[in-house]
Amino acid sequence: MTAVFCSPLRYTQGPNVTRRIWSEMEILGLGGPALIVTSPQPRRLLEATWQTAFNEAHMGFQVHLFAGECTDAEVNAIASAVRAAGSATIIGAGGGKTLDAARAAAADLQLPFVACPTIASTDAPCSAVAIIYDASGVFVRARILPRNPALVLVDTQIIAQAPVRTLIAGMGDALSTMFEAKACVRSGALNVRGGSCTLAAMAMAELCYRTLLADGAQALADARANRVTPALERIIEANTLLSGLGFESAGLAAAHGVHNGLTAVPGSHAFMHGEKVAFGVLTQLMLEEADEATVDEVLQFCQSVGLPTTLREIGCAELSGTMLAAVAARATTPGELIHNEPFTVTAAMVEAAILAADARGRGFARKN
């Protein structure tokens, strides 16, 4: 059994760290000029700071506006822009899709990649995974790239200004990490990078869960007030670093498998990845026949931060028998993450677990 643990070379988090982008790159030996892949909104917030930071170092940078979907064509377009500009480092600044397109282009050109997430909505920024879609937004494949980002630069002042729904969704994604890590360790499934789980990855996954329970509600209140506080800093770290290293180096299982199944329901498309993953966690606990106290603890947490616990809350209220069967079939296709559970999972078991999770969620909401 060979254990593998992967991570970025450097992770820097704090208010206004964008101002230090060049010095952070320089410490790692990263060179310029840089190509920054971003969207109009983060560009408005950050471009003046980039100007100051890069001008001070007499280093140039260019901006490539992300086309909106992480497709093979967009990855190629970024690579062309990098070649035309002669850039030595690729920076992605924005949400998950922007970062993924920039990270895939950097891998294709064998250039270092810097991730600057401007929301804390998923645990993807620290990883070496890029999710590729087609032009209409349908999942095509997950690319596992050779290297993690050289630098992950998390400006908490920027994240504190983002819509709070993105932070809540990030907590939903982070909620799954420990439960999926434990499932993989029990089954002996390999992590995302092809090795078994280290003590370090499991410790991060467990700390991620404890941090959510301890700080989630306070961090949400602080984010609503656009205030960077110690609780918000800890939740941003849990969503981004702890969950990111946890999922990649410990492994994924039923919660993400159920999420993938739920994407078969058109009504779920209006909901964020982490919102569907939260319901996937509940479903995983039903599949695993988890004890009552664990299920109640998860339900209590979800309710405290406004994460969905019922099918209605993820746009699947009218889940007909056929649609439920489609979700279960999609979730249990051969090779799916759900088969990392330590027992055989059938489509019939997934159907029953989804309905049981929904019933528990509705019952909990009525009682509390």
Q: Which residues are catalytic?
A: 173, 256, 259, 273
| 36 versus 171: smaller Cβ distance to Zn ion | 171
- Pick between residue 260 and residue 310 the one whose CB is nearest to Zn ion: 260
173 binds Zn ion (CB under 5 A): yes
Q: Tell me the closest approach of the beta carbon of residue 66 to Zn ion, in angstroms.
A: 20
Q: Tell me how many degrees the CA angle 335-339-345 measures, rounded to the nearest 5.
A: 125
Rounded distance, CA 86 to CA 213, Å?
46
Q: Which residue's CB comes closest to Zn ion? A: 173
For Zn ion, which is the closer residue by CB, 24 or 173?
173
Contact (CB, 8 A) for 304 and 171: no
Which residue type, as a one-letter code, is found at position 148?
A: N
Query: For residues 123 and 155, which CB has a smaller minimum distance to Zn ion in the complex?
Result: 123
102 alpha carbon, distance to own chain's centre = 16
Assess contact for 80 and 130: CB atoms under 8 A: no
Spell out, one character per residue from 114 to 153, where the chain touches Zn ion: x when CB under 5 A holds, - when not.
----------------------------------------
**Span interacting with Zn ion, options 3-11, 134-142, 173-181, 235-243, rule CB under 5 A:** 173-181
At a CB cut-off of 8 Å and minimum separation 6, what does 293 contact? none
Q: CA 274, CA 277: separation in Å to the nearest integer?
A: 5
DSSP states along 203-271: HHHHHHHHHHHHHHHHHHHHHHTT---HHHHHHHHIIIIIHHHHHHHH---HHHHHHHHHTTSGGGGGS
Q: Are 125 and 86 in contact (CB under 8 A)?
A: no
Nearer to Zn ion, 176 or 332 (CB): 176
Q: Least CB distance from residue 255 to Zn ion, whole Å?
A: 8
CB of 79 to Zn ion, least distance (A): 26
What character string, x for contact with Zn ion (CB under 5 A) and - otherwise, covers 74-113?
Answer: ----------------------------------------
Q: Least distance in Å: CB of 150 to Zn ion?
A: 22
Give the residue with the Cβ less far from Zn ion, 173 or 351. 173
For 249, the token pair is: 């180096």
Cα gap 147→137, rounded to integer Å:
25
Virtual CA dihedral for 238, 243, 249, 254, nearest 10 degrees? Answer: 150
> In this chain, which stretch among 105-113, 144-152, 171-179, 358-366 interacts with Zn ion, using CB under 5 A?
171-179
Number of residues that bind Zn ion (CB under 5 A): 1
- Piece of the chain touching Zn ion by CB under 5 A; list 2-10, 143-151, 169-177, 234-242: 169-177
Cβ at position 157, least distance to Zn ion in Å: 25
301: tokens are 């947490």
Rounded to a whole number of angstroms, the minimum distance from the CB of residue 217 to Zn ion is 21
Largest Cα–Cα distance in the chain? Answer: 63
Rule CB under 5 A: which of 323-352 touch Zn ion? none
Segment contacting Zn ion by CB under 5 A, of 46-54, 155-163, 168-176, 312-320: 168-176
Instruction: State phi, psi for 62 to the nearest 5 degrees.
Output: -125, 155
Chain residues in the site for Zn ion (CB under 5 A): 173
